[in-house]
């Protein structure tokens, strides 16, 4: 059977962006598009040594919630990038409504080809999106390129064990749910290290994943209760979605899938990017 | 040479005041965390050290601090600050919160003599009943303090056997009080259909609600015999069916005791969800004030234990953090969840509302730096409150606003009007741990929002009323018969206890009052310089 890895890279990314922009996903995920929600975003922010005025790049910024929180609570300027035009428009509206459009800006862009000059940002954040990028090495190299020397990368993402996933979770539907191309913690460390970013912190937040599954199932239950026709119109079949959420829950309970917060730092003095995948434990 | 140093086996987190459970003298107390559980410890000069479990989840205890909502100042207080908490009730101007719920105990008599009764009621010749005039005055005091109170609870004794009970409801409804909660064992509701009809008529008055707060402890015969002294299962069933028939909504109220009915909590929820009259369930770990079975203060049930039982017994429906701490009182006193329940196609779907809306974004009063939508916050505050009553106007409005927030306006799909009628699908579960003379912590008492309204016009925090000695004082004054201070029937102090005429435990001989300390109330904290010259 064909897995997402067989499909051309750009097709996947566009598909993911469209997926996250779709009514069905918006219905099921609500305003929180990543496990852990705002509390985990805040935890990530605290790990990034942000100062008032720090410039942050939010890669896969979605509807802009993280960008607005970072700007409002940490007094930073934030530039958000997303592949989906609908999300960009929505994020811009949200920034304007919050009166933050001077410090929070959004742009449509591809994470593997950032339209950003070298050394522009104090921090790059990327929440539950890195796992969906087909060329992770290229994306990581781009993160490293746009960071200032000494700048921080903050990731929260799905992690898997080295044994990999049950077959059914490697399909395109699962890809949109951030799962299919997730790597192990060691795998991510190797990718970041290759890009010249030194991993500083690795935290397990597996609970956030099961909570998100609970949340998706709850929203599905609410919609099935109040708006079954809309659910159908959005192309969301409760039985099929429950089938996937159950699979993910089982995998999460068994420890096959986890959720991890990682920070990595660009060296203060310029060094050549490392081309070996040797990783030392932080 | 290395010196061996010893580390304490506990984390010291609070210093506060409590009382000696035997002589009721005010003593200093400390709160410590040991093996992920929270304990309160104190020492009386005359009766020695006491320790009790107050919360069996230390992490939840500490984290709930941020849900502590700034209190609302009552419109009127009834006493002055003289000796400090808990000697100045009440309410005194130092009290941190207004009354979400006022309780009027209309009598001390009851048609049952339950082995467990925090009021120590029963078939007793030496009790009292309030008059219509007294009830009117008590309601007036409540209105004076609250303006437009959401809820008054009529309790006892057994309020349905008071000859003026319907008149009392009328008095409450003639005032700007929206909900009357009738706290009953259900015996009269099971047999007197005319009475049920009279209550239902009062429930139909525009803007007014009468809710039945029905004692309901489980389904096992043993549970009934141990807690109530009688098998009341058939009468509970008939009371509920009568309420359903006449259109009264019911809260099932279960007193939960360890190793007695803690295995029945899941079934009580399922039964409530299935019964057309039931809109909510309240679980109360048995309050070890008044009359109760012997218990060990170190292993007593607390809110997190009840939540664990619910999660274990309904794993498909609940996880522990579906139960969210209530901000109006101290958040460790009470936890609530709301469920959306759908019963179609022969299947029951249950969705806890806390999974649909991130309560943390709205009810974190300390660490949230982005001001949440004030309207949604206000709605959630009415739901996560001691005054929340299914069918009551504020709770209904709160559910409507919350439902509107759940609508996905951002994604272009407008949920139909059905979502606005979520009140009909909503079901409330409350878990409330009352303090007893062992666990009493003035920190919680000072922010208590559940007040006993006394016939002489005071509002006394419920746990102070039952633990500190106010209940005994009020009963003595009202009945003219001396009432000795009630002491918990606790393991470890059995040699100090005798049984009173009311079946409660008291210290020393039943009439001497010898337990009162020679040091006098408050002497351990007040009236001496910090350093003696």
Sign for the pseudo-dihedral over CA of B250, B453, B523, B490? negative
Which of A35, A97, A226, A233 to mutate to test binding with chain B, by most B CBs within 10 Å of its CB? A226
Name chain A contacts of B349, Cβ cutoff 8 Å. 221, 224-225
Per DSSP, what are the bridge partners of residue A108?
A82
Best mutation target among A21, A32, A84, A218 (most B Cβ atoms within 10 Å) is A218
| A214 in a structural domain | no
Of the candidates A41, A155, A51, the one whose C-alpha atom is nearest the C-alpha of residue B370 is A41
A72 neighbourhood in chain B, CB within 8 Å:
369-370
| Rounded-to-integer distance, Cα B324 and Cα A156, Å | 26
- pLDDT for the residue numbered B411: 40
pLDDT per residue as tens digits for the range A122-181: 999 999 889 888 899 999 999 999 999 999 999 999 898 877 666 666 665 555 555 667
Choose the closest CB to B356 out of A39, A219, A233: A219
Q: Cβ distance B178 to B392 under 8 Å?
A: yes
Q: Has residue B89 got a pLDDT over 90?
A: yes
- The helix or strand, by DSSP H or E, that contains position B266, with its residue range, turns out to be helix B265-274
Across the interface, whether the CB atoms of A234 and B413 are under 8 A apart is answered: yes
Q: How far apart are CA B189 and CA B277, in angstroms?
A: 13
Q: What are phi and psi of B16, to 5 degrees?
A: -150, -165
Do the bridges between strand B497-499 and strand B505-507 make them parallel or antiparallel, or are there none, so unpaired? antiparallel
Q: What is the pLDDT of residue A212?
A: 83
What distance in Å separates residue A158's CA from the closest CA in chain B?
Answer: 21
- CB < 8 Å to A233, chain B: 413
**Do the Cβ atoms of B410 and A227 come within 8 Å?**
no
- A38 chain-B contacts, CB cut-off 8 A: 358, 360-361
B-chain CB neighbours of A221 within 8 Å are 340, 342, 349-351
Torsion of CA B364, B368, B374, B377, to 10 degrees: -20
The answer to the question of residue A238 being in a domain is no
A185 within a domain of the structure (yes/no): yes
Q: How confident is the model at residue A47 (pLDDT cuts 50, 70, 90)?
A: very high
Nearest CA in chain B to A210: B319
Residue A112's pLDDT band, with cuts at 50, 70 and 90, is: very high
Q: What does the pLDDT read at residue A23?
A: 56
- Domain assignment present for residue A117? The answer is yes
Residue B102: pLDDT band with limits 50, 70, 90: very high
Query: Which pair of structure tokens corresponds to residue A166?
Result: 């049950």
The residue segments making up the domain with residue A143 are 4-14+38-206+258-265
Q: Is A236 inside any structural domain? A: no
Please tell me whether the interface predicted TM-score (ipTM) of this complex is above 0.95.
no
**A239 CB neighbour count, 10 Å cutoff:** 7
Of A23, A39, A218, the CB nearest to B352: A218
Phi-psi group of B55: left, alpha or beta (phi > 0 → left; psi -120 to 50 → alpha; rest → beta): beta
Residues near B429 by beta carbon (within 8 Å), at least 6 away in sequence: B269, B280, B281, B282, B283, B310, B323, B336, B337, B338, B339
CA nearest B420 in A: which residue?
A: A226
Kind of pairing, strands B347-352 and B334-344?
antiparallel
Q: Which of B22, B13, B14 is nearest to B50 (CA)?
A: B22
| Under 8 Å between Cβ of A153 and A264 | yes
Chain B residue numbers touching A252 (CB-CB < 8 A): none
Nearest to B408 among A27, A217, A233 (CB): A27
In a domain, A166, yes or no: yes
- In three-state form (DSSP H/G/I as H, E/B as E, the rest C), the secondary structure along chain A is CCCHHHCCHHHHHHHHHHHHHCHHHHHHHCCCCCCCHHHHHHHHHHCCCCCCCCEEEEECCCCCHHHHHHHHHHCCEEEEEECCHHHHHHHHHHHHHCCCCCCEEEEECECCECCCCCCCEEEEEEECCHHHCCCHHHHHHHHHHHEEEEEEEEEEEEEECCCCCCHHHHCHHHHHCCCCCCECHHHHHHHHHHCCCEEEEEEECHHHHHHHHHHHHHHHHHHHHHCHHHHHHCCCCHHHHHHHHHHHHHHHHCCCEEEEEEEEECCCCCCCCCCCCCCCCC
Substitution target in B341, B408, B412, B418 with the highest count of A β-carbons within 10 Å is B408
Cβ contact B167:B136 at 8 Å: no
Residues in chain B within 8 Å Cβ distance of A224: 342, 349
> Which 3-state string (H, E, C) describes B369-415?
CCCCCHHHHHHHHHHCCCCCCCCCHHHHHHHHHHHHHHCCCCCCCCC
Q: Average the pLDDT over A86-91 and give the result.
A: 90
- From chain B, the residues in CB contact with A69 under 8 A are 370
All residues at 6 or more sequence positions from B231 whose CB lies less than 8 Å from its CB, including other chains: B221, B224, B225
Say how far apart CA A12 and CA A111 lie, in whole Å.
13
Cβ(B41)–Cβ(B29) below 8 Å: yes
Interface with A, mutate which of B323, B370, B411, B413 (most A CBs under 10 A): B411
| Residue contacts between A and B (CB atoms, under 8 Å) | 72
Strands B278-285 and B249-256 turn out to be: parallel
Between CA B140 and CA A95 the distance in angstroms is: 50
Is the Cβ of B481 closer than 8 Å to some Cβ of chain A?
Answer: no
Most confident range (mean pLDDT) of A28-32, B227-231, B347-351 is B227-231
B531 touches chain A (CB under 8 A): no
The answer to whether A91 and A63 have CB atoms below 8 angstroms apart is yes
The answer to whether the CB atoms of B410 and A90 lie below 8 A apart is yes
Q: What spatial distance separates the first Cα and last Cα of chain B, rounded to whole Å? A: 41
> In Å, how far is B342's CA from the nearest CA of chain A?
6
Tens digits of per-residue pLDDT, B8-57?
Answer: 999 999 999 999 999 999 999 999 999 999 999 999 988 999 999 999 99
Region label for A178, one of left (φ > 0), alpha (ψ between -120 and 50) or beta (otherwise): left
Of residues B485, B479, B472, the one with CA closest to residue B126: B479
**What's the whole-number mean pLDDT along residues A223-236?**
76
Mean pLDDT of B79-108: 94
Residue B69 in tokens: 């909502």
A77-82 vs A104-108, strand pairing mode: parallel
Q: Which of B78, B101, B127, B112 is nearest to B472 (CA)?
A: B127
B263-290 per-position pLDDT tens digit: 999 999 999 999 999 999 999 999 999 9
CB contact under 8 A, B342 and A227: no
Domain of A189, CATH number, reads 3.40.50.150
Whether residue B443 is predicted with pLDDT greater than 60 in this model: the reply is yes
Say how many CA atoms lie within 13 Å of B338 toward its Cβ. 28
- Average pLDDT, stretch B278-307? 96
- How many structural domains does chain A have? 1
- Inter-chain touch A26–B360, beta carbons under 8 Å: no
Buried b (16+ CB within 10 A) or exposed e, B40-59: bbbebeebeebbbbbbbbbe
d(CA A235, CA A24): 7
A276 or B186, which is more confident: B186
B479 by Cβ neighbours in 10 Å (0-12 / 13-18 / 19+) ranks as middle
**Contact predicate B177/B143, CB 8 Å:** yes
Q: What pLDDT is recorded for position B523?
A: 46
Angle ∠(A59,A60,A66) on CA atoms, nearest 5:
85
Helix H or strand E segment including B444: helix B442-445
The neighbour count for residue A62, using CB atoms within 10 Å, is: 27
CB B301 within 8 A of CB B286: yes
In chain B, residues with a C-beta closer than 8 Å to the C-beta of A215 are 355-356
Q: Quote the tokens at residue B318.
A: 């609940």
Residues from A contacting B (CB-CB < 8 Å) are 23, 26-27, 30-32, 37-39, 63, 69, 72-73, 90, 214-215, 217-219, 221-227, 230, 233-234
Report, as an integer, the average pLDDT of A219-243. Answer: 78
Is the confidence at residue A7, as pLDDT, over 70? no
d(CA B358, CA B322): 11
CB contact under 8 A, A218 and B351: yes
User: Residues 406..425 of B with a Cβ closer than 8 Å to A: which?
Assistant: 406, 408, 410-413, 415-416, 418-419, 422, 425
Residue A113: how many CB atoms within 10 A of its CB?
11
Q: How far is A225 from chain B (nearest CA, A)?
A: 6
Q: Is residue A213 part of a domain?
A: no
- Chain B residues with beta carbon closer than 8 angstroms to that of A30: 356, 408
**Average pLDDT over chain A, rounded to an integer:** 82
Please name which of B228, B339, B212, B318 lies closest in space to residue B265, comparing C-alpha atoms: B318
For residue A19, tell me if it sits in a domain.
Answer: no
B62 touches chain A (CB under 8 A): no
| Mean pLDDT score across all residues of chain B | 91
Instruction: Detail the DSSP E strand segments found in B137-207.
Output: 151-155, 179-184
């Amino acid at each position: 059977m064909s897995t997402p890895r067989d499909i051309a890279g750009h097709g996947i990314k566009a598909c993911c962006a469209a997926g996250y922009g779709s009514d069905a996903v918006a219905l099921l995920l609500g305003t929180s598009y990543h496990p852990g929600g705002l509390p985990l975003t805040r935890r990530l922010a605290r790990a990034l040594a942000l100062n008032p005025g720090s410039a942050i790049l939010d890669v896969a910024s979605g509807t802009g919630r993280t960008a607005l929180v970072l700007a409002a609570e940490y007094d930073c300027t934030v530039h958000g990038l997303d592949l989906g035009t609908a999300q960009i428009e929505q994020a811009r509206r949200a920034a304007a409504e919050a009166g933050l459009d001077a410090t929070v800006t959004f742009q449509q862009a591809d994470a593997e080809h950032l339209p950003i000059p070298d050394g522009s940002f104090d921090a790059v954040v990327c929440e539950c999106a890195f796992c969906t990028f087909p060329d992770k090495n290229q994306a990581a190299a781009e993160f490293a390129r746009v960071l200032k020397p000494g700048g921080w990368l903050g990731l929260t993402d799905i992690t898997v064990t080295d044994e990999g996933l049950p077959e059914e979770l490697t399909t395109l539907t699962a890809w949109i749910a951030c799962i299919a191309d997730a790597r192990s913690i060691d795998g991510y460390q190797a990718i970041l290290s290759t890009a010249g970013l030194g991993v500083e912190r690795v935290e397990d937040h597996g609970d956030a994943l099961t909570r998100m599954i609970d949340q998706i199932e709850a929203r599905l239950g609410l919609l099935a209760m109040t708006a079954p026709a809309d659910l159908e119109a959005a192309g969301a079949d409760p039985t099929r979605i429950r089938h996937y959420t159950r699979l993910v829950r089982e995998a999460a309970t068994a420890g096959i899938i986890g959720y991890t917060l990682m920070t990595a730092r660009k060296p203060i003095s310029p060094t050549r990017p490392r081309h070996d995948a040797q990783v030392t434990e932080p | 040479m290395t010196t061996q140093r010893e580390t304490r086996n506990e984390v010291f987190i609070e210093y506060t005041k409590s009382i000696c459970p035997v002589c009721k003298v005010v003593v200093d107390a400390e709160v410590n965390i040991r093996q992920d559980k929270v304990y309160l410890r104190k020492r009386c000069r005359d009766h020695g050290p006491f320790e009790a479990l107050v919360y069996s989840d230390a992490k939840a205890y500490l984290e709930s601090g941020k849900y502590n909502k700034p209190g609302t100042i009552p419109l009127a207080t009834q006493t002055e600050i003289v000796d400090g908490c808990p000697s100045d009730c009440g309410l005194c101007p130092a009290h941190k919160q207004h009354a979400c719920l006022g309780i009027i105990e209309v009598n001390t008599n009851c048609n049952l003599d339950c082995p467990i009764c925090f009021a120590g009621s029963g078939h007793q010749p030496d009790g009292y009943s309030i008059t219509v005039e007294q009830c009117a005055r008590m309601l007036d005091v409540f209105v004076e303090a609250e303006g437009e109170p959401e809820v008054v609870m009529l309790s006892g004794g057994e309020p349905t056997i008071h000859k003026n009970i319907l008149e009392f409801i009328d008095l409450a409804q003639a005032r700007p009080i929206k909900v009357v909660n009738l706290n009953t064992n259900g015996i009269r509701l099971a047999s007197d259909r005319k009475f049920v009809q009279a209550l239902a008529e009062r429930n139909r008055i525009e803007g007014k609600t009468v809710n039945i707060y029905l004692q309901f402890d489980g389904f096992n015969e043993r549970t009934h015999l141990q807690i109530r002294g009688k098998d009341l299962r058939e009468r509970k069933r008939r009371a509920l069916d009568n309420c359903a028939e006449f259109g009264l909504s019911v809260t099932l109220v279960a007193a939960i005791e360890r190793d007695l009915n803690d295995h029945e909590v899941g079934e009580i929820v399922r039964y409530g969800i299935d019964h057309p009259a039931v809109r909510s369930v309240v679980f109360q770990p048995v309050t070890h004030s008044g009359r109760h079975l012997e218990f060990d203060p170190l292993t007593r049930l607390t809110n997190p234990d009840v939540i664990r039982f619910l999660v274990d017994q309904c794993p498909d429906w609940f996880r522990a953090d579906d139960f969210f701490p209530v901000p109006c009182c101290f958040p460790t006193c009470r936890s609530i969840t709301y469920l959306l329940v759908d019963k179609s196609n022969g299947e029951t779907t249950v969705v806890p509302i806390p999974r649909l809306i991130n309560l943390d974004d709205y009810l974190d009063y300390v660490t949230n730096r982005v001001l949440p939508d004030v309207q949604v916050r206000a709605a959630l505050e009415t739901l996560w409150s001691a005054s929340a009553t299914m069918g009551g106007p504020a709770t209904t409005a709160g559910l409507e606003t919350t439902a509107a927030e759940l609508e996905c306006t951002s994604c272009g799909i407008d949920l139909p009007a059905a979502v606005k009628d979520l009140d009909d699908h909503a079901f409330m579960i409350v878990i409330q741990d009352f303090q007893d003379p062992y666990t009493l912590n003035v920190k919680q008492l000072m922010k208590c929002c559940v007040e006993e309204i006394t016939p002489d016009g005071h509002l006394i925090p419920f746990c102070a009323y039952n633990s500190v000695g106010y209940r005994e004082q009020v009963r003595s004054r009202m009945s003219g018969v001396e009432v000795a201070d009630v002491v918990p029937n606790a393991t470890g102090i059995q040699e100090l206890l005798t049984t009173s005429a009311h079946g409660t435990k008291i210290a020393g001989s039943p009439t001497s009052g010898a337990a009162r300390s020679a040091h006098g109330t408050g002497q351990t904290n007040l009236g001496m310089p910090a350093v003696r010259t």
